Each structure stands twice: as structure tokens, then as C-alpha cells.
């Protein structure tokens, strides 16, 4: 049996910034936690935040973004659709005209 592989000195595993486990019952989430809660990628959630199409967020500090669980739930509920032809905002009224 061969010994376990060790990381070369130049390729060490990254240290996790937040070592606490993800708690879906928490009141607020970081961007990675919110992305996990919504089943989105982190980069897509950041893109939604940049374009203003994502859930509401709060800037706690220069590099600290937090999402409230209630806001995530409300944003997710606002995106419910009954079928694939009911696209984005305004599509419900467009079909009536």
C-alpha cells in the first residue's frame, strides 16, 4: 500500500475563510451561503447583485455583504411561474393584451 499523497509546497489547499458549517436556519447569510440556500452559483448571485435583479442585500462593511433569509424567501417566491411561457416581469399582462 502506498503512502498518502502530500501536497507539494507550491500547491497547498486553500484555507477556508468561514470555517463554520452552513446553517440554513440562520437569520442572515454571506454570499456563498446565500448562493447555497438558493441553489445558485456564487458568481451568478454576484451577477444578479451587480445588475440589480437579485434579492435585496446589505453592505455591512467595505467587503461584507449579507442577505437576510426572509428577503431570500420573498425574492424566490416572487420568481414563481406556472409554466414556461410565463417569463419575466410583465409577461403576465402581455398575454392579456
Question: What are the extents of the domains in the chain?
Answer: 25-76
Separation of alpha carbons 34 and 20, rounded Å: 14
Confidence at residue 47, expressed as pLDDT on a 0 to 100 scale: 97
In the predicted structure, residue 6 carries a pLDDT above the cut 60: no
- Domain formed by 25-76, architecture: Orthogonal Bundle (1.10)
Residue 15 half-sphere exposure toward CB, CA atoms < 13 A: 1
List CB contacts of 86: < 8 A, sequence separation 6 or more.
Answer: 92, 95
What pLDDT, in 10s, does the model give residues 20-79? 677 888 899 999 999 999 999 999 999 999 999 999 999 998 989 999 999 999 999 999
CB atoms inside a 10 Å sphere around CB 60: 11
In the predicted structure, residue 8 carries a pLDDT above the cut 60: no
Amino acid at each position: 500500500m502506498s503512502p498518502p499523497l502530500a501536497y507539494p509546497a507550491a500547491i497547498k489547499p486553500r484555507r477556508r475563510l468561514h470555517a463554520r458549517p452552513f446553517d440554513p436556519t440562520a437569520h442572515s447569510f454571506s454570499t456563498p451561503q446565500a448562493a447555497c440556500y438558493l441553489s445558485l452559483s456564487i458568481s451568478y448571485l454576484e451577477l444578479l447583485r451587480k445588475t440589480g435583479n437579485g434579492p435585496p442585500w446589505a453592505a455591512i462593511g467595505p467587503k461584507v455583504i449579507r442577505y437576510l433569509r426572509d428577503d431570500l424567501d420573498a425574492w424566490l417566491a416572487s420568481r414563481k411561474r406556472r409554466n414556461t411561457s410565463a417569463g419575466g416581469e410583465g409577461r403576465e399582462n402581455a398575454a392579456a393584451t
